[in-house]
Chains A and B, each alone.
Chain A
Amino acid sequence: MSDSIAPSDASHSDGDLYEVFIQTKGGQPFAHVGSVHANDSTMAIQVARDVYTRRPPVNGMWVVKSDAIHSTDSSENEMMFSPADDKIYRHVKFYNIPKPPKGDS
């Protein structure tokens, strides 16, 4: 039984589950703020506006059907995401690039 961090089950009689992402300011990343149920994307946007955007400043909003989002399984985090910090030979700065000899065109 895996400890999934995927968006929760999308099947629901009140329509499809949509994940909601909000951009606070132009050029900034969109941040996940939660989810809504809706029968189509227009309604999803309308209800997400009422549920999530009444207080914070908002420059843009995405709604994405939850089942369009594919996520990793947190039980595999060690395998997938162990940082390679201890493998110094994989870092660009590990190698000294010698200066080219003078006279080369």
Chain B
Amino acid sequence: MADATAPQLLSTTTAYGDDRLILAQNLAEWVGIAPTLEEEMSIANIALDVLGHAKMFYDLAAELEGEGRTADDFAYQRYAHDFRCILLVQLPKGDWAQTIVRQLMFAAFDTLQADTMAESSHEGLAAIGAKSRVESKYHLKHAVIWTERLAGGTEESHRRMQAAVDDLWRFGSELFELPEGGAKCVEAGVLADPASLKETWLETVTEPLRRYDIALPEVSHSVTGGREGKHSEHLVPLLTELQSVARAFPGAQW
């Protein structure tokens, strides 16, 4: 059964790796300029966890592909038009409130998805789910702690949280969009349908916001396209920087 879905699993795991590689890179942008010295450690730790998840997905993708490529090849030798990450992770880090709102949205989904993945009949996916769910749970806890304190803090922090939710909410629906091949994986029973996670996700994300009077915007038009390779203007500069050393010294070892 797993063999029949290998190409679909390949494109799905690649896309999930892409989500996390790009998110990790954007989280790492805070290193050196985080709001407190303690948060330097927290945000870097979270970025490294997410990068680790990216590597797990890329390692599985490389194995499914069976052409001798490595996780490094997936991360450093593909062009923006090959990436299939969602738009939410491509957005620049913004201010701390925007980073926290993105974390809240992504980590809430990631925790739910990892839980279902840990039960997958596909060994490789189950291993990723089991390992990542513990870390993602902490990312969500961190995001909720900060959401409460920013939304319920000063007039300025509340205003910035509201602005962040207003900006980012429209990118939320893409979390539930399956990558190419994902539908076949759901059909084959190796992947849970993300649509089944939406209700719990909504409650998890809106509960702390509601408690501190952050209103949800009316979204007239969800912004999507990343899963089809229609990316934001931010992805190319991000990848140019991320891949610059690997491309300048191809095959380098150290």
| Residues of chain A having any CB pair with chain B under 8 Å | 14, 36-40, 42-43, 46-47, 49-51, 54
Contacts and interface: CB of A to CB of B under 8 A. Distances in A.
A56 to B, nearest CB: 15
Interface in B14-42: 36-39, 41-42
A54 B142 contact: no
Interface in B107-149: 138, 141-142, 145, 149
A47 B39 contact: yes
Contacts of B141: 46
Contacts of A51: 38, 41
B45 interface: yes
Contacts of A46: 42, 141-142, 145
Interface residues of B, number: 12
Interface of B: 36-39, 41-42, 45, 138, 141-142, 145, 149
A38 B38 CA distance: 8
Most buried by A among B38, B42, B149: B38
Contacts of A42: 145
Nearest to A14: B36
Counting from the closest, the 8 A-B pairs by CB-CB distance are A47-B38, A50-B42, A50-B41, A51-B41, A50-B45, A36-B38, A14-B36, A46-B145
A49 B139 CA distance: 12
9 contacts: A36-B38, A40-B149, A43-B149, A47-B38, A47-B39, A47-B41, A47-B42, A49-B138, A54-B45
A46 B138 CA distance: 9
Given A42-B145, A46-B141, A46-B145, A37 B45 contact: no
Contacts of B38: 36-38, 47, 50-51
B42 A39 contact: no
Contacts of A40: 149
A20 B145 CA distance: 19
Nearest to B43: A50
Given A39-B149, A43-B145, 15 more contacts: A14-B36, A36-B38, A37-B38, A40-B149, A43-B149, A46-B141, A46-B145, A47-B36, A47-B38, A47-B39, A50-B38, A50-B41, A50-B45, A51-B41, A54-B45
A42 B42 CA distance: 14
A42 B138 CA distance: 13
A37 B145 contact: no
Contacts of A38: 38
A40 B153 CA distance: 12
B27 to A, nearest CB: 13
A37 B34 CA distance: 14
B205 to A, nearest CB: 19
A39 B45 CA distance: 20
A38 to B, nearest CB: 7
Contacts of B41: 47, 50-51
